Amino acid sequence: MTQPIETQEREAGPPVPADGTPPSSAKRDSFLGNLRRLWHNLRAAIFRTGKPTSDRARAQKVFGNFLLHVHSTRVHRHSLRFTTTLGLGIAALASFILATVTGVLLMIYYTPSTELAYQSVKDIHYVVPTGRFIRNLHRWSAHIMVIAVILHAVRVFLTASYKKPREFNWLIGLGLLVVTLGLSFTGYLLPWDQLAYWAATIGSNIASSPRELTDALGITSWFDPGGFFRQLLLGADEVGQSALTRFYLLHIMVLPLLLCWLIGVHFWRIRKDGGLARPSDEQLRAEGKLPPAEENNNGNGATFPRGPLKTYGLMAVVRGRTPVVGRGPENTVPAWPRAFRAEMAVGMIVVAVCLVLAFFSDAPLKEQANSLVPENPAKAPWYFLGIQELVSYSAFMGGVFLPGLVVLGLALIPFLDREKEPGGVWFSGARGRREFLASLAFGTVVVVLLEVITIRFGWLRSWFPEIPQLWIILVNPGTVLAVLFAGWSQLTLRRTGSTRMAAIALFTTILVGFVILTYVATVHRGPNWDFYWSKSQWPVH
């Protein structure tokens, strides 16, 4: 491998050189002189060189700095286009950082005990200086994080950025999505108000809902995964102190650590998998998304000056293409400042949005948890309401089997769709856009139709009151949707002969299902989970 050997690496630094050469030798070792130079010497000790003044020095800085070196020193022009990423990954990271900072602040006052939790949250809300604002920020940054992570996954899928060699990073990303939802769910219980208590009760009962199936099959007495999950989550038979302790531990320790580790691997793999997915330079140039070839090398002279700054020695002979020498990688720009500026901008927008939302909208706090009176309707946070709508047909299918199937399906996508494609193009082109729109229409019609049938006419049990439970588990609106979506995807595969198009069909219909079910459950479900056009029609009780 050919390795550059560094020689003569002095950039024009600050007035005082890095080695702190004193102005006069008389003062060289005097105590006062050292004291006066303390600031400069400290800075030199930390940063070694001063503020970099050339692209080359900035690249060196990015390369050598612990916090910055997760970036490559140069970024492809295509990666910096807003439409490549929409900034969603960085938005998720920014909201996570904001949630972490505000979360640590909330921990100053929050007490994880069933007797004090509610009072301490009330204190934070009404008594602690800026407490309400910090709590609002924590809540809004968590919401924004969930939205950003979901949209980021949608972006990565639609631009085919999961394909080889990025399959593993797609799996890591899926893990991040699951952990993010876990963080939100565990945080939901902590205020110990009615909303929290009943959401946790429903959630833990969903965890134990495999019992629905084992009961229907009559094998619960010797095979009871549902009861096992529930005990693991709650540490008891009911939501109580042990559940609060466990949720708190998960929320502030286990899941954040896991998330940080996964984020680290995620970012590392972006670098190691060759940066963001993008089409070939020729294709980009043909579409006018890159400057023509001749112009492109402008500026590279300054960035990569020819001269005796580096000498190259032959270390070994390896297979592969000859490394480019004396010329910058084509169509890239320095990460500092271009990529950093873009990331800072996205981060600032996220923080600004959270600040505005937190200022105008308070986080809810209902009455203290009461195990005798359920909240009516008892709604989970909005991103689980799609699942809650499915759960209202069958707890096991809607709460465990179908979500599990979706996660498994998402994980398998890059391994079932092996069509070679560089990625980085939305919908993989015009054909994909057509399939996307067709699937959007199909999904909408099917989901709305099933919702209308269920709401107007009920389901199997309304028609055949004596029907065995197993039938309801197997045949309910949720499973019907799953079969229809799978069939639609198969049809697309037959019609187009492309696994990518089939993947688009499946992903899009599931996405539509998620969005519509979430919408119906959020807006149109009222007391007793009945359908209402608006909240103003809810019966007073």
Partner 1 sequence: MSDTPEEPQERRDFLARAAFWTTAGALGFAALGVARMPKPGVLPGQSAAVKIGPPGEYPVSAEPVRVPGQNLFVLHDADGFAAVAAVCTHLGCIVSVSPDGFECPCHGSRFARDGHVVRGPAPSPLVWFELSLAPDGQIVVDTKKPVPVGTKFQLS
Is residue 3 involved in binding partner 1 (CB under 8 A)?
Answer: no
Contacts with partner 1: how many residues (CB under 8 A)?
A: 51
Helix (H) or strand (E) holding 139: helix 131-158
Residues contacting 254, CB < 8 A, separation 6+:
none
User: Which is nearer to partner 1, 326 or 458 (by Cβ)?
Assistant: 458
394 binds partner 1 (CB under 8 A): yes
Q: Give the nearest distance from C-beta 208 to partner 1 in angstroms.
A: 9
- Measured in whole angstroms, the distance separating CA 415 from the mean position of its chain's CA atoms is 21
Closest CA to 358 of 530, 176, 141, 53: 141
Helix (H), strand (E), coil (C) string for 416-434:
HCCCCCCCCCHHHCHHHHH
CA distance 94 to 71: 16
Distances (CA, A) of 163 to 55, 82, 170, 273: 33, 21, 9, 11
Which one of 231, 297, 444, 499 is in contact with partner 1 (CB under 8 A)?
Answer: 231
372: tokens are 């005798």
* Min separation Cβ 267 and partner 1, Å: 27
Inter-residue contact 130 to 147 (CB < 8 Å): no
41 binds partner 1 (CB under 8 A): no
Q: Is 377 in the site for partner 1 (CB under 8 A)?
A: yes
258 CB-contact burial (10 Å; exposed 0-12 / middle 13-18 / buried 19+): middle
Please confirm whether the linkage preceding 381 is cis (ω < 30° from 0). Answer: no
Binders of partner 1 in range 317-346 (CB under 8 A): 318-319
CA separation for the pair 442, 506 (Å, rounded): 11
Closest CB to partner 1 among residues 143, 525:
525
Interface with partner 1 includes 84 (CB under 8 A)?
Answer: no
Residues 6+ apart with CB under 8 A from 311: 4, 5, 7
Residue 251: CB minimum distance to partner 1, A? 16
Closer of 121 and 200 to partner 1 (Cβ): 200
Task: Tell me how far apart the alpha carbons of residues 201 and 192 are, in angstroms, rounded to a whole number.
Answer: 12
Is residue 188 near partner 1 by the rule CB under 8 A?
no
Would you say 21 or 370 has its CB closer to partner 1? 370
Does position 372 interact with partner 1 (CB under 8 A)? The reply is yes
Residue 97 lies near partner 1 (rule: CB under 8 A): no
Shortest distance (Å) from residue 211 CB to partner 1: 8
Q: Is 454 in the site for partner 1 (CB under 8 A)?
A: no
Which among 100-108, 138-146, 231-239, 296-304 is the span making contact with partner 1, rule CB under 8 A?
231-239
**Three-state DSSP class for 487?**
helix
* 444 interacts with partner 1 by CB under 8 A: no
Of residues 46 and 372, the one with the C-beta less far from partner 1: 372
The residue among 70, 91, 47 whose CA lies nearest residue 345 is 91
Number of Cβ within a 10 Å radius of residue 121:
24
Taking CB under 8 A as the criterion, the residue among 46, 316, 430, 540 binding partner 1 is 316
Question: Which range in 162-170, 290-298, 314-322, 353-361 contacts partner 1 by CB under 8 A?
Answer: 314-322
Q: How far is the CB of 100 from partner 1 (least distance, A)?
A: 25
CB of 522 to partner 1, least distance (A): 15
Residue 114 interacting with partner 1 (CB under 8 A): no
- The verdict on 197 binding partner 1 (CB under 8 A) reads no
Question: Which one, 241 or 496, has the nearer CB to partner 1?
Answer: 241
215 in contact with partner 1 (CB under 8 A): yes
Q: Does 235 bind partner 1 (CB under 8 A)?
A: yes
In the complex, minimum distance from the CB of residue 107 to partner 1, in angstroms, rounded to a whole number: 22
Among 83, 462, 490, 537, binds partner 1 (CB under 8 A): 462
What minimum distance in Å lies between the beta carbon of 57 and partner 1?
Answer: 31
One DSSP character per residue, 181-246 reads HHHHHHHHHTT-BHHHHHHHHHHHHHHTTHHHHHHHHT-TTT--HHHHHHHHHHSSSSSSHHHHHH
Distance in Å, CB of 525 to partner 1, minimum: 9
369: left (phi over 0), alpha (psi -120 to 50) or beta: beta
The letter for the amino acid at 117 is A
Can you tell me the distance from the alpha carbon of 49 to that of 30, in angstroms, rounded to the nearest whole number? 24
Q: Is 282 one of the binding residues for partner 1 (CB under 8 A)?
A: no
Instruction: Tell me which of 209, 368, 479, 492 binds partner 1, using CB under 8 A.
Output: 209
Written as six digits, the tokens of 232 are 């693991």
Residue pair 59/6 in contact (Cβ under 8 Å)? The answer is no
Closer CB to partner 1, residue 140 or residue 198?
A: 198
Binder among 282, 287, 367, 530 for partner 1 (CB under 8 A): 530
- Residue 306 CB coordination number (10 Å): 9
Distances (CA, A) of 384 to 176, 258, 410, 519: 16, 21, 18, 11
Pick the binder of partner 1 from 80, 86, 97, 236 (CB under 8 A).
236
By CB under 8 A, the residues from 240 to 279 that bind partner 1 are 240-242, 246
Exactly one of 91, 425, 473, 520 binds partner 1 (CB under 8 A); that residue is 473
Q: By the criterion CB under 8 A, which residues form the site for partner 1?
A: 1, 198, 201-202, 204-206, 209, 212, 215-216, 228, 231-232, 235-238, 240-242, 246, 315-316, 318-319, 371-378, 388, 391-395, 458, 461-462, 465, 469, 472-473, 527-530
